[in-house]
Amino acid sequence: MTETTTGTETTTDGERADVLVVGSGIAGCAAALAAARAGADVCLLTKATKPDDASTDWAQGGISTTRGNPDSLKADIIDASDGTADPEAVETLVENADEAVEDVLVDTLGVDFDEGEDGSFDYTREAAHSEHRILHVDAATGTHILRPFLNHVDDHERIEVRQDTAALELITAEGRVHGVVSDREGPRPSDSSSGRRPREKPVGHPIYAGATVLATGGIGALYGRSTNPEDATGDGIAMAALAGADVADMEFVQFHPTAYAGEDPFLLSEALRGEGAVLRNSDGERFMDEYHPQGDLAPRDVVARAVDTEREETGAVVLDVSSLEFDSAYPGIAEKCRDRGIEGDAIPVAPCEHFLCGGIDVDDRGRTSLDRLYAVGECARTGVHGANRLASTSLLEGLVWGLRAGTDATGFEPEIVEAPELRDSDPALPDRFAAEKFTRLTRTMDDYLGLERDPDEIARASAVLRRLKGEVDAYVRTRTARDLYELRNASVVALLIARAASENTESVGCHYVATERDESTAEPTADD
């Protein structure tokens, strides 16, 4: 007995899809669209229930293009990465950039990018870009891309979008991924005509797929202050790593230099500095020229550490937007400032966790080390970003790799194998259990694996995180709940970051190892 729905075929032994995509940001939508265009039936799972639950919706600055000069963009990406970006991956991004933007964003979705007085696109510039090449919609580009993209894939006859549904485990057998176990049941065959009683609802719900694409976003929930949505718990990275997939560059956690410094932080786009805003310390002095030849437009890792230093030495740093038509050019950011009682042209800023440059290791088509498992977007490590990401390349990377992975993931038949059995036999945990463990995790990450790291503190963090993961694993074995699995995933990713940080003793990009100690605070020796 079968029942066919858009994107999936429901049978008595589980659901099946040609391609299963987990995540609904620009990378997941691009993968779903490309697979559907290639003739596959696609199921797209997302934890989100509204667009602003996805990281793409929070993206402000824009999406980079080559603007007819691919060599220049390539050079800027590699320079911003501190020379660590993979040149072949950068070449893949740059070669496909303009075609992907024009095909999907302009022609298919009709994104209304800002235009100048002559009707041509109004390209802006951001930090570490050598020229104006970034398409944008004021400073809310992600919103204007994601919402029409979601509507488009939701209306596609070959794509089923299933909201408020989390993937809990990958279904694997002999090095091959066959789908996921989700936490919500999809449409099932009716048993009414047979006279049989409805089956008991299982704890987990397997969805089998010819190929699985992870597009689960970032890790911002691991830190106390982040520009990510609160459910950015590194789910895809953790599931892939637990299944045996290779991960890489996990130590490269990028902190954005200009997030609002108060409660409820929000991003102040680099486009502001690209158009003339400047950083000042509490003495009113511009300081970035002392730290880097590019001044306020230096790479993010440099600016973030400089802002942190000036805050420590002078008490505060503000972004001075007095040279801009701030309210009219950046209405969304201006409104957030007013909502927080910020008056005038000086906005207090501080570094804030923003983006993971590493992740699940993939090739130029998003293929992981596990057969028929793909990863795209922030959860993937393509090699484009190296140790530090250039502004406005994340949306582009998600779009380009999403399209390439979605196309490559087609043509495989779903196979039914034994799925992991999730247990829910013990009593429910207290309401605050996961939240309290999360607080412990984020405090550890903030204290020991933040903007600057010390080898001894990395080791201390590793010990704390190992104990935390052991505690969480004990509960996951007998209880199934989304917040508990998110906590498990976050603890796995935190340990991967700590492990990578301990193995890389060299300061590079956004992994800054502070090994020098102030002699006045050093412990006494036997000779003292």
Separation between Cα atoms, residue 295 and residue 258, nearest integer Å: 14
Same domain, 27 and 141: yes
199-213, 357-371, 387-401: which has the minimum mean pLDDT? 199-213
Verify that 46 and 94 share a domain, yes or no.
yes
- Is 300 catalytic? The answer is yes
Decide if 294 contacts 128 (C-beta within 8 A).
yes
Which CATH number is 333's domain given? 3.90.700.10
pLDDT digits (tens, 9 = 90+) for 260-286: 999 889 999 888 999 999 999 999 999
Q: What is the enclosing helix (H) or strand (E) of 14?
A: strand 14-22
Counting residues of the chain whose pLDDT is more than 70, the rounded percentage is 89
Check whether 520 has a pLDDT greater than 50: no
Structure-token pair, residue 220:
């911002």
Angle between helix axes 394-408 and 87-100 (nearest 10 degrees) is 90
- On whether residue 8 sits in a domain, the answer given is no
User: Tens digit of pLDDT for each residue in 394-418?
Assistant: 999 999 999 999 999 999 999 999 9
Q: How confident is the model at residue 358 (pLDDT cuts 50, 70, 90)?
A: very high
Q: Strand 253-260 and strand 346-356: pairing?
A: antiparallel
Does 199 score more than 60 pLDDT? Answer: no
**Residue 374 C-alpha from the chain's centroid:** 15
Q: How many CB atoms lie within 10 A of CB 298?
A: 22
pLDDT at 59: 63
Picking from 336, 353, 370, the residue at the C-terminal end of a domain is 353
- pLDDT tens across 212-241, in order? 999 999 999 999 999 998 899 999 999 999
Asked if residue 94 is part of any domain, the answer here is yes
Residues 336 and 363 in one domain: no
Which residue bears the tokens 């007998």? 478
| Domain CATH number, residue 466 | 1.20.58.100
pLDDT-derived band of residue 190, with 50, 70 and 90 as boundaries?
very low
- For 4, the enclosing helix (H) or strand (E) is strand 2-5
Percent helix, strand, coil in the chain, to 5, is 40, 20, 40
Residue 19 within any structural domain of the chain: yes
Average pLDDT over residues 471-480: 89
Determine the average pLDDT of the residues in 243-266.
96
**Closest to 125 in 3D by CA, of 60, 64, 57:** 64
Q: Are residues 210 and 304 in the same domain?
A: no
Residues 6+ apart with CB under 8 A from 406: 19, 21, 30, 31, 32, 33, 34, 35, 36, 37, 38, 213
- Return the structure tokens found at 176: 């091959």
**Number of domains forming the structure of the chain:** 3
Structure tokens at 382: 């393509």
Using CA atoms, how far residue 508 sits from 82, 252, 326, 431, in Å, is 7, 9, 34, 41
For residues 296 and 333, membership in a common domain is answered with yes
Q: What are the beta bridge partners of residue 226?
A: 353
* Residue 71 predicted with pLDDT over 50: yes
Q: Which DSSP letter does residue 55 get?
A: H
Q: Which of 48-62, 182-196, 426-440, 466-480 has the lowest mean pLDDT?
A: 182-196
| 34/96 same-domain check | yes
The answer to whether position 363 is within a domain reads yes
Q: Please check the confidence at residue 370 and state whether its pLDDT lies above 60.
A: yes
Assigned domain for 10 exists: no
Please, which residues have CB within 8 angstroms of residue 255's CB and are 6 or more apart in sequence? 300, 301, 304, 351, 352, 353, 354, 450, 451, 510
- Domain co-membership, 466 together with 326: no
**CA 282/CA 295 separation, integer angstroms:** 18
Selection from 38, 23, 15 nearest residue 179 by Cα: 15
User: Going by C-beta distance under 8 Å and a sequence separation of 6 or more, which residues neighbour residue 444?
Assistant: 461, 464, 465, 468, 494
Closest CA to 184 of 160, 161, 205: 205
Instruction: Report if residue 422 sits inside a domain.
Output: no
pLDDT above 60: residue 527: no
**Are 44 and 152 members of one domain?**
yes
Q: Do the bridges between strand 2-5 and strand 8-11 make them parallel or antiparallel, or are there none, so unpaired?
A: antiparallel
% of residues, the chain, pLDDT over 90: 77
CATH number at 226 reads: 3.50.50.60
Higher-scoring residue by pLDDT: 461, 60: 461
Average pLDDT of the segment spanning 130-135: 95
The pLDDT of 283-292, averaged and rounded, is 97
Residues 169 and 301 in one domain: no
At 315, give phi and psi (nearest 5°).
Answer: 105, -30
Q: Quickly list DSSP for 105-153.
A: IIIIS-----B-TTSSB--B--TT-SS--EE-STT-HHHHHHHHHHHHH
Which sign, positive or negative, has the C-alpha torsion 414, 417, 422, 425?
Answer: positive
- Residues 49 and 178 occupy one common structural domain: yes
- Contact status, residue 303 vs residue 259, Cβ threshold 8 Å: no
Q: What are phi and psi of 402, to 5 degrees?
A: -60, -45
Domain that holds residue 387: 15-186+204-252+357-409
Within this chain, do residues 349 and 361 fall inside the same structural domain, yes or no? no
Residue 414 forms part of a structural domain: no
Query: Is 74 inside a domain boundary?
Result: yes
Which is catalytic among the residues 300, 305, 389, 404? 300
Question: Which residue, 332, 353, 374, sits at the end of a domain?
Answer: 353
Based on the domain organization, do 21 and 99 belong to the same domain?
yes
* Domain-ending residue, one of 321, 353, 385: 353
Nearest Cα residue to 394 out of 145, 83, 221: 145
What pLDDT band is residue 525 in, cutting at 50, 70 and 90? very low
The pLDDT, as a whole number, for residue 400 is 98
**Bridge-partner residues for 279, per DSSP?**
319
Angle in degrees, CA 452, 456, 457, rounded to 5: 50
Q: How confident is the model at residue 186 (pLDDT cuts 50, 70, 90)?
A: low
